[in-house]
């Protein structure tokens, strides 16, 4: 019965029995390879990275493994080509979806950032200058693309900006030194407390302001520095 099943399989391409002899299995594979145009070696399937896929998205080891499996099961080159095309199309959809998500995410981040800066009366250009300064003080490299992307997050941007503001030595938040004030911590502290046009004036007295703690810390730091210099 087993012989009859093997012979039937050989004649009609019916499935071979699980215990078919190795030479019978080899003979069947040779027949299927001939029918499907299977190359002698998996590498001869010629799977290469599609031109429309970025290098970092191409997995060479996966492609090699797919070719070996296709060769093992006598898959035709066209079948493998179609599978690669399908995978490429799906990958492109994923890349496009990710790009759209990032575009919307960063647009929202920018919108939130600009709203916060308007509420705190800080010009965008000055905020960018402060944020870059603060980021570098915190150890970020503004030439690093990953760090540049990180700074597009509004929370990170504001954190860096406020860090720069709290560690400034002789400039106002607006970046404009008041005439005659120079490097005078006492004068700057008094300006924060008494000059309503000072960018930190409102935050200094408004406990609900996001900059309240920073303004008070700046004032305290200036007064301590003035004390060290013997200013009254």
191 occurs within a structural domain: yes
Q: Output the six-digit token pair for 114.
A: 């600009």
| % pLDDT > 90, the chain | 42
Q: At 81, is the pLDDT very low, low, confident or very high (cuts 50, 70, 90)?
A: very high
**Among candidate residues 72, 96, 120, the one where a domain is terminated:** 96
pLDDT of residue 195: 87
158 occurs within a structural domain: no
pLDDT in tens, 38-61: 999 999 999 999 888 889 889 999
1 occurs within a structural domain: no
pLDDT in tens, 1-50: 666 555 555 555 678 888 889 998 999 899 999 999 999 999 999 999 98
121 occurs within a structural domain: no
Residues contacting 198, CB < 8 A, separation 6+: 172, 191, 192
76 occurs within a structural domain: yes
Distance from C-alpha of 119 to C-alpha of 211, rounded to nearest angstrom: 11
Distance from C-alpha of 47 to C-alpha of 39, rounded to nearest angstrom: 12
**Exposed (0-12), middle (13-18) or buried (19+): which is 36, by Cβ within 10 Å?**
middle
Rounded mean pLDDT, 172-179: 43
Number of folded domains that form the chain: 2
pLDDT of residue 99: 93
**Among candidate residues 96, 118, 141, the one where a domain is terminated:** 96
By residue count, the chain amounts to: 232
151 occurs within a structural domain: no
Range of the domain at 84: 19-96
Contact 166, 214 (CB under 8 A): yes
pTM of the model: 0.54
Phi and psi at residue 172, to the nearest 5°: -80, 170
> If you search the block for the tokens 């080159």, which residue do you land on?
77
**Among candidate residues 96, 118, 144, the one where a domain is terminated:** 96
Q: At 157, is the pLDDT very low, low, confident or very high (cuts 50, 70, 90)?
A: very high
Q: At 182, is the pLDDT very low, low, confident or very high (cuts 50, 70, 90)?
A: very low
pLDDT of residue 232: 66
39 occurs within a structural domain: yes
Distance from C-alpha of 167 to C-alpha of 92, rounded to nearest angstrom: 46
Rounded mean pLDDT, 164-176: 57
Least confident segment among 7-16, 61-70, 127-136, 151-160: 7-16
Q: At 170, is the pLDDT very low, low, confident or very high (cuts 50, 70, 90)?
A: very low
Measuring CA to CA, which residue among 2, 6, 22 is closest to residue 14? 6
> If you search the block for the tokens 């080891």, which residue do you land on?
61
CA distances from 153 to 86, 146, 149, 168 (A): 35, 12, 7, 23
| % pLDDT > 70, the chain | 88
pLDDT of residue 222: 87
């Amino acid at each position: 019965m087993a012989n009859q099943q093997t012979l039937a399989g050989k004649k009609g391409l019916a499935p071979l029995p699980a215990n078919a002899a190795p030479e019978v299995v080899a003979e069947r594979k040779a027949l299927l390879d001939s029918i499907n145009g299977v190359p002698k070696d998996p590498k001869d399937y010629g799977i290469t990275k599609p031109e429309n896929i970025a290098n970092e998205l191409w997995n060479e080891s996966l492609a090699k493994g797919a070719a070996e499996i296709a060769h093992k099961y006598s898959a035709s080159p066209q079948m493998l080509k179609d599978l690669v095309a399908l995978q490429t199309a799906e990958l492109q959809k994923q890349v496009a979806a990710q790009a759209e998500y990032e575009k919307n995410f960063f647009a929202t981040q920018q919108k939130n950032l600009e709203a916060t800066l308007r509420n705190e009366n800080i010009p965008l250009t000055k905020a960018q200058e402060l944020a870059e300064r603060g980021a570098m003080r915190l150890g970020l490299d503004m030439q690093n693309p990953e760090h540049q992307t990180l700074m597009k997050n509004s929370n990170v941007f504001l954190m860096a900006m406020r860090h720069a503001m709290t560690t400034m030595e002789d400039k106002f938040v607006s970046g404009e030194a008041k005439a005659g004030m120079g490097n005078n911590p006492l004068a700057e502290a008094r300006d924060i407390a008494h000059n309503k046009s000072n960018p930190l004036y409102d935050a200094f007295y408004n406990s609900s302001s996001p900059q309240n703690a920073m303004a008070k810390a700046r004032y305290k730091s200036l007064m301590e520095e003035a004390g060290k210099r013997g200013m009254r």
